[in-house]
Structure 1
Amino acid sequence: MNWCDSMPSFGERLNYLRKTKNLKAEDLAEIVGVKRRIIFMYEKNEAKPSFDVLIALADYFNVSLDYLVGRSNKAE
């Protein structure tokens, strides 16, 4: 198994974080300044966020960028 296979994808991590906060996709979309369908596309790994959106997501969820994009299992 490749080391990347054991880490969740960005989309999986985003979906998990959103659900832990009991947020609807439209609420998170408003918080970070994108459309609701874009959040779903992120969660399905069909689109990648801009750097600004990544930072907004990491700040909102209070996690590191590495954690958010699945490069680390350490949230901070």
Structure 2
Amino acid sequence: MYLKRLKFLRMNAGLKQTEIADLLGIQQTVYSRCERGFQTIPLHFLIKLADFYNTSTDYILNRTNEIKMYPESIFE
């Protein structure tokens, strides 16, 4: 499930939930609920986190194991 990837990315970056919540402009408790699966993460937050971690939404959503962003040429 993608929630494990959100936690992995955050911990791998050495960040706390409060720091990610600040980035998203929400309370830490709201982000915690998203990360633990008690609340659905809004799409615009998912996109913002993918950009922040320099990865794809597909990686976060467990649709690929490739953590790196897609090369620009894939969209040409």
- Shorter-chain TM-score bucket reads 0.7 to 0.9
Amino acid at match of 1:51: L
Aligned AA for 1:30?
D
Q: How many pairs align?
A: 68
Partner of 1:48: 40
Q: Deviations over 1:5-32 (max 9, x none)?
A: xxxx121000000001111100010012
Larger-Rg structure? 2
| Residue of 7, 15, 21 corresponding to 1:15 | 7
1:28 to 2:25 alignment: no
CA RMSD of aligned residues (A): 1.0
Unpaired runs of 5+ in structure 2?
70-76
Tell me, in whole angstroms, the C-alpha distance in 1 between the residues paired with 2:2 and 2:31: 11
* 1:12-70 deviation line (CA, Å, top 9, x unaligned): 00000000111110001001222111221122111111111111110000110100111
Residue in 2 that maps onto 1:71? 63
What TM-score comes out, normalization by structure 2 length?
0.81
